[in-house]
Structure 1
């Protein structure tokens, strides 16, 4: 997996994660969000960049296709992954749900991946996690 390269301390922005009353700030400029599809059991990856306008989705990858995860027509098969660059404006926040059927969301930066539970320091379970750009502490 090619985690997005992240630099520390740039631009005064960080990634803030909030779940079940806990907020965690990560000093990253970019990250990769990874999860396993609950039915097809294959990985999906998204590369995100933190901007003053919000969270910018740069690239998406899926290792296969199937129920509810068909890659768009512009996707290209590269190294066993369907890859594409979604065309959407930055989002002020991204809300991640968890059905409990496919394991946890994983966040990767600086070539290191952790589950949201590991990052937040408590089991996330089926609680939603909100991601947003925030100012460095």
Structure 2
């Protein structure tokens, strides 16, 4: 079974037995929520759709985006990400990981963002071969 691993440079800090998830965060300057929906595949994490609730500095809305329920929805055509690299610092706040109808801070699985560890990777992994957290 394919699942989601969280860690850095191949070291697994947490493993989630999920097939899809939403990654969400607030833009550090504009304080506007972004959401990206991913599907976990053997090839990596496939970005299916993204949403943003406004625009501002560094937040250009793609020309093909559609406004729906207060958010701009759009799709980016890109190959599967393996890994997905995330920057994490204390002043930026944390990402949220949403699945099974609930959102939780990524720090629930890997600890709070710190200056000593300012990044995190997420990748598709074989959930059957790993031990650790299983959600």
The 8 Å contact of residues 104 and 116 in structure 1, kept in 2 or not, is answered as: yes
Q: Are 1:103 and 2:93 matched, yes or no? A: yes
CA distance in structure 2 between the aligned counterparts of 1:98 and 1:37, rounded to whole angstroms: 12
Q: 1:134 is matched with which residue?
A: 125
Instruction: Provide the aligned length of Structure 1 versus Structure 2.
Output: 125
Report the TM-score, using the length of structure 2 for normalisation.
Answer: 0.86
Q: What SS does the aligned partner of 1:95 have?
A: strand
1:124 pairs with one of 110, 113, 121: 113
Q: What SS does the aligned partner of 2:92 have?
A: coil
The 8 Å contact of residues 34 and 46 in structure 1, kept in 2 or not, is answered as: yes
Q: What SS does the aligned partner of 1:118 have?
A: helix
Q: What SS does the aligned partner of 2:55 have?
A: coil
Q: What SS does the aligned partner of 1:114 have?
A: strand
Q: 1:3 is matched with which residue?
A: none
Gaps of 5+ in 1: 1-11
Gaps of 5+ in 2: 129-135
Report the TM-score, using the length of structure 1 for normalisation.
Answer: 0.85
Q: Aligned-pair RMSD on alpha carbons?
A: 1.6
